[in-house]
Amino acid sequence: MSKYKIAWLPGDGIGVEVLEAAKIVLDALALDADYIHGDIGWEFWCKEGDAFPQRTIDLLKNVDAAMFGAITSKPGKAAEAELVPGLKGKSLVYRSPIVRMRQLFDLYICLRPCIAYPGNPLNFKEGINLVVFRENTEDLYSGVEFNTVPKELSDTLARLSKPFAAFKDLPEDQYAVSCKINTRKGSERIVRSAFEFARRFKRKKVTIVHKANVVRATDGLFLETAKEVAKGYPEIAMDDANIDAMTMWLLKNPFNYDVLVAPNLYGDIISDLCAQMVGGLGFGCSGNIGDKLAVFEPTHGSAPKYAGQYKVNPIATILAAKMMLDWLGETEKAGKLERAVAHVIKEGQVRTYDMRGTSKTLEMAEAIAEKLEVGVVIGTQ
Site of interaction with ligand NAI (CB under 6 A): 70-73, 98, 281-282, 297, 300-305, 312-313, 316, 354
Q: Shortest distance, CB of residue 268 to Mg ion, whole angstroms? A: 5
Q: Shortest distance, CB of residue 272 to Mg ion, whole angstroms? A: 5
* Shortest-Cβ-distance residue relative to ligand NAI: 301
Answer with the entry of Mg ion, ligand NAI, none that 302 interacts with (C-beta below 5 to 8 A by kind).
ligand NAI
DSSP run (H or E) holding 51: none
Q: Is 139 in the site for Mg ion (CB under 5 A)?
A: no
Answer with the entry of Mg ion, ligand NAI, none that 303 interacts with (C-beta below 5 to 8 A by kind).
ligand NAI
Q: 373, 108 in Cβ contact below 8 A?
A: no
Closest to Mg ion by CB, 80 vs 297, is: 297
Q: 325, 28 in Cβ contact below 8 A?
A: no
Q: Is 268 in the site for Mg ion (CB under 5 A)?
A: yes
CA-CA distance, 133 to 268, in Å (whole number)? 9
Answer with the entry of ligand NAI, Mg ion, none that 268 interacts with (C-beta below 5 to 8 A by kind).
Mg ion
CA-CA distance, 106 to 291, in Å (whole number)? 8
Q: Are strands 65-70 and 177-178 parallel, antiparallel or unpaired?
A: unpaired
Answer with the entry of ligand NAI, Mg ion, none that 326 interacts with (C-beta below 5 to 8 A by kind).
none
Answer with the entry of ligand NAI, Mg ion, none that 354 interacts with (C-beta below 5 to 8 A by kind).
ligand NAI
Torsion of CA 246, 251, 253, 257, to 10 degrees: 50
Closest to ligand NAI by CB, 198 vs 324, is: 324
Closest to ligand NAI by CB, 300 vs 343, is: 300
Q: Is 135 in the site for Mg ion (CB under 5 A)?
A: no
Answer with the entry of Mg ion, ligand NAI, none that 9 interacts with (C-beta below 5 to 8 A by kind).
none
Closest to Mg ion by CB, 219 vs 268, is: 268
Q: Shortest distance, CB of residue 352 to ligand NAI, whole angstroms? A: 6
CA-CA distance, 227 to 208, in Å (whole number)? 9
CA-CA distance, 376 to 339, in Å (whole number)? 5
The 209-248 site mask, x for binding Mg ion (CB under 5 A), equals ----------------------------------------
Angle at 14 between CA 9 and CA 18, to 5 degrees: 65
Q: Shortest distance, CB of residue 283 to ligand NAI, whole angstroms? A: 8
Q: Is the dihedral of CA 136, 139, 145, 150 positive or negative?
A: positive
Ordered DSSP codes for 137-177 = SSBTTS--EESS--HHHHHHHHHHS-TT-TTTTS-GGG--E
Which residues make beta-bridge pairs with 132? 112, 260
Q: Shortest distance, CB of residue 317 to ligand NAI, whole angstroms? A: 7
Q: 187, 225 in Cβ contact below 8 A?
A: yes
Count of C-beta atoms within a 10 Å radius of residue 347: 13
Closest to ligand NAI by CB, 51 vs 230, is: 51
Q: Shortest distance, CB of residue 41 to ligand NAI, whole angstroms? A: 8
Closest to ligand NAI by CB, 207 vs 313, is: 313
Number of residues counted as binding Mg ion (CB under 5 A): 1
Q: Which three-class secondary structure state does DSSP give residue 222?
A: helix
Q: Which stretch binds Mg ion (CB under 5 A): 54-62, 141-149, 266-274, 373-381?
A: 266-274
Q: Which three-class secondary structure state does DSSP give residue 4?
A: strand
For 350, counting Cβ atoms within 10 Å of its Cβ (0-12 exposed, 13-18 middle, 19+ buried), the class is buried
Q: 112, 278 in Cβ contact below 8 A?
A: no
Residues 6+ apart with CB under 8 A from 229: 188, 191, 192, 195
Q: Shortest distance, CB of residue 112 to ligand NAI, whole angstroms? A: 12
Answer with the entry of Mg ion, ligand NAI, none that 162 interacts with (C-beta below 5 to 8 A by kind).
none
Closest to ligand NAI by CB, 206 vs 295, is: 295
Closest to Mg ion by CB, 64 vs 268, is: 268
CA-CA distance, 98 to 366, in Å (whole number)? 29
Applying CB under 5 A, the residues found at the interface with Mg ion are: 268
